[in-house]
Amino acid sequence: MKTLFVSKFRYYFVFFGVVFAFCSVGGRLVWLQVWNADKYAEIASNARKKFQVIKARRGDVVDSKGNLLATTRSVVDIGLDPHVLVEEDKLKWDTLCTYLDINTAELKSAANLKRVFDENGNFVRDKRWVELREDVDEGTYRKIQELKIKGIYGNYKHSRLYPNKKLASHLLGYVNKEGTPSMGVERFANYYLKGQDGWRESEKDGKRREMPHHRSLEVSPSDGLSVELTIDRRIQDIVEEELTSLVGEFNPLSASIIVSDPRSGYILALANAPDFDPNKFNTSDLASQRNRALSDLYEPGSTFKIVAVGGAMDEALVRGEDIIDCGESTFQSGSKRLRLPSDHHPLGKISVSKVVQKSSNRGAARLGIMLGAERLYRYSQAFGFGQKTNFGIGGERKGVLHAPKRWDGLTITRLPIGHAVSVTPMQVHSAMACVANGGILMKPQFISRVFDVAGKTIVPFNPKPVRRVLSANTATELSNMLVSVVSPEGTARRARIEGFAVAGKTGTTQKIIDGKYSNRHHVGSFVGYFPAENPKLVITVVVDEAKMQKGLLGYGGVVAAPAFSRIGSAIASYLGMKPMKKDAMAAKIQRGVNGSI
């Protein structure tokens, strides 16, 4: 019998090889299960966990009557997985395309996008999602689901909707595709509107499907609060209809209209042309999205004369019946001989009331000289010029109002007539509202309150007085003078509203083109309020470069005053305001002409 020969080398080689293998496996197990047990246990746990953010619903925006201006709706982004589509479902593709409002060629093209390649043409990964249509309503998605096309599915999301399209677009703003509020109340009140997202933590199976019975933690979202604006939808409609009419008639570069309550400072309507549809913000140019009532600067012209006249009367330098010589082209002030601006028509010696009624440049300049540089500058600041109104919407500019140390020799005579200063329509509007409010400047506001789902007020936005600018008596006397401006003898007779005493002021300024004042490019404006004896509404109309018929200029009394009249008449009818008797109104106008309280 043969004895089996075993090589010692082979024996020990296999023996130690087996021992080494077991030691390696054992060491690796110790390394994984002892030294790094916590780390890998967490990795394994996370591989099973499913963490899902539950988006909060953004709050609504309504007008002062509760009409919906902005809301959030659930929509669905529809897409397909090209690797899951099956041949037998192609018979349903035409119906699917009808629901999605796309053509069959688009669907076929999407179905062929099965892979993702880098810029060098190298394969990266399989493509498992190709979007077909975004923001599909839930009803349409249910119809698509009924087709039972394999590989077609949707992702729910919240989408912002502005049901009135362009209405109040510059006040509302919009939320962009990334969910970021970009302007208007959407941005200003985002803290209240956005709410607090929730989340859900559960486990998923091998096919990455959620297992609801293994949910370990769920925090419900807190929906956003709603915001009530001060604007009235019907008044906003009236304003925007008038803007459309202005653009159709004069084709200006731009126009702005503001309506407010002088007592509270609440904005009842604000609109600009051009405007945009916040539902389609990505298709509109940035110029259309600019809130020109807050961002566009212009020289106010004669609407600024309320500063010089109001300041001189408040300092008891003149009274309404005092006479001002508007016939002289120069005025001796101390050692200086100042050149006065010219008037459109010779006026001679007239009362301060007539200076306002006839919008005398020389008269206003003389009153500015009486005040002196420091007091004129101080009253200009007190009326709110040269500073932001803090309206709240981004993009507001403070304008230009130079300190007296930077004035040249003409500024003291040009600032009182609205030159050498740049303002926004909102600043001019607030200044006139100050006169209407008995001399108290109010902060303009467009939000009245923040409320919850039960309608309970969470944050009120109460009226905010800024400062007293004029005494009550001065404001009343100035108001009477402004009534005479809208009389048949005044510069703003086209602003009259039947049955109401209107107080206001026109403004026409030449624009600076190529460094010089142009005779063909004007900004025409009118700002006024009514009823003058108990002001309820302040309306400002600013029209930039109205295209007039040959031989006519875009004066404020021609392009802006009639718009004021039409807007005021429509709002008075809507609010049921009672007109004044003719004899009482005639007496009111006569008091303004005489300069008496």
Per-residue 3-state assignment (H helix, E strand, C coil) for 364-405 = HHHHHHHHCHHHHHHHHHHCCCCCCCCCCCCCCCCCECCCHH
531 within 8 A of 503, measured Cβ to Cβ: no
**Nearest residue to 263 via CA among 46, 80, 500, 534:** 534
Please report where in the chains the tokens 């001065």 appear, as a residue. 474
Rounded Cα distance between 451 and 449, Å, is: 6
- What ranges make up the beta strands (E) of 190-240? 198-204, 210-211, 217-219, 226-229
Q: pTM for this one?
A: 0.82
205 within 8 A of 195, measured Cβ to Cβ: no
Rounded Cα distance between 114 and 563, Å, is: 60
DSSP string of 119-171?
Answer: TTS-EEEE---EEEEEEEEHHHHHHHHHH--TTEEEEEEEEEE-TTTTTTHHH
How many alpha carbons fall within 13 Å on the CB side of residue 559?
33
Surface-to-core class of residue 127, CB atoms within 10 Å of its CB (0-12 exposed, 13-18 middle, 19+ buried): middle
Write out the two tokens for 1: 């019998």
Cβ contacts of 383 within 8 Å, gap of 6 or more = 306, 307, 310, 430, 431, 434, 441, 469
User: What is the residue type of 4?
Assistant: L
Cβ contacts of 366 within 8 Å, gap of 6 or more = 324, 325, 326, 331, 340
Peptide bond preceding 531: is omega within 30 degrees of 0, i.e. cis? Answer: yes
What's the alpha-carbon Rg for the chain, to the nearest Å? 36
Looking at the domain 233-452+461-594, which fold is it? Answer: Beta-lactamase (3.40.710)
Percentage helix, strand, coil for the chain under 3-state DSSP, each rounded to 5:
40, 25, 35
Write out the two tokens for 390: 């803090």
Rounded Cα distance between 486 and 260, Å, is: 20
Write out the two tokens for 583: 């004899």
Write out the two tokens for 574: 């809507």
Domain ranges of the chain: 233-452+461-594
Taking residue 526's Cβ as centre, other Cβ atoms within 10 Å add up to 34
Look at residue 4 in the predicted model and tell me its pLDDT: 54
Taking residue 385's Cβ as centre, other Cβ atoms within 10 Å add up to 25
State whether residue 477 is helix, strand or coil: helix
Taking residue 319's Cβ as centre, other Cβ atoms within 10 Å add up to 15
**Nearest residue to 420 via CA among 499, 472, 474, 365:** 365
Please report where in the chains the tokens 């969910």 appear, as a residue. 179
pLDDT in tens, the chain (597 residues): 455 566 777 777 787 788 888 888 887 777 777 777 777 666 666 656 666 677 888 999 999 999 999 998 878 888 888 888 888 888 888 888 888 888 888 888 888 888 877 788 787 777 888 888 888 888 888 888 888 888 888 877 778 899 999 999 999 999 988 889 989 999 999 999 998 888 777 665 555 555 454 556 677 888 999 999 999 999 999 999 999 999 999 999 999 999 999 999 999 999 999 999 999 898 888 899 999 999 999 999 999 999 999 999 999 999 999 999 998 888 887 778 888 888 888 888 999 999 999 999 999 999 999 999 999 999 999 999 999 999 988 889 999 999 999 999 899 999 999 999 999 999 999 999 999 999 999 999 999 999 999 999 999 999 999 999 999 999 999 999 999 999 888 889 999 999 999 999 999 888 777 777 777 788 999 999 999 999 999 999 999 998 877 656 678 889 999 999 999 999 999 999 988 766 665 665 555 555 554
**Nearest residue to 470 via CA among 303, 261, 311:** 311
Question: What value, to the nearest 5°, has the Cα angle with vertex 362 and ends 357 and 364?
Answer: 60
Cβ contacts of 334 within 8 Å, gap of 6 or more = none
> What is the phi/psi pair of residue 233, to 5°?
-55, -40
Look at residue 194 in the predicted model and tell me its pLDDT: 92
> What is the phi/psi pair of residue 146, to 5°?
-65, -20
Rounded Cα distance between 313 and 151, Å, is: 79
Rounded Cα distance between 306 and 339, Å, is: 21
Q: Measure the CA dihedral 331/334/336/338, to 10°.
A: -20
- What ranges make up the beta strands (E) of 431-502? 440-442, 447-451, 457-460, 465-468
- Whether the CA torsion 397, 400, 401, 405 is positive or negative: it is positive
Rounded Cα distance between 563 and 321, Å, is: 32
- Taking CA atoms, 25 is separated from 13, 15, 16, 21, in Å, by 18, 16, 14, 6
